[in-house]
Amino acid sequence: TSNVDSAFSLIMILQAKGKPEEAREMLKTALNFATELRSTPFTFLAQSFQAELAVMQDQAHEHIQWAEQAYAQLQLAPRYTFYTPQLTIAKVLLAAGTADGRKLAADCLRQLRVYCESTHHTRILIELLALEALLHVANDDEEAALTVLEESLALAQPGGFIRLYVDLGPEM
């Protein structure tokens, strides 16, 4: 998994540096590696990161079907690395911009929140709460958005988390 995580880190760096084409090329390498391994978990991981990058590059609409299928098979145990595929499901569904997408995203985030709070998985909870804030904004509930964003920021402040908010895009 360290090869895949390293590739994902590099992809995020390339994207943050304004090199989306290079990020997509590195993603192709990661997808090819996952295919060569013939591992269903690695293939899912690579496909979910492909959707993650698509959200960042305003191409989430290409992955809505993937997100709906992944949601139907939602696994609550997130990975203990910087990348959490379960959150990508919610990101793609939110980016769809539809009432149905927001409803599925809300349910996905609700299930993950219960899990993260029960397991004290603060890092994922920080990003999850930020996504909940975006969901509330999409539902025109600014008060709820600010409340949940304050909760996210309070958890993030001791660790100096900034990048995850930036990576959530201009809506954040």
pTM (2 d.p.): 0.88
Per-residue confidence (pLDDT) for residue 1, from 0 to 100: 62
The mean pLDDT value for 124-140 works out to 96
Angle at 52 between CA 47 and CA 57, to 5 degrees: 120
* Confidence bin at 115 (pLDDT 50/70/90): very high
Write out pLDDT tens, residues 82-106: 788 899 999 999 998 999 999 999 9
Per-residue confidence (pLDDT) for residue 80, from 0 to 100: 64
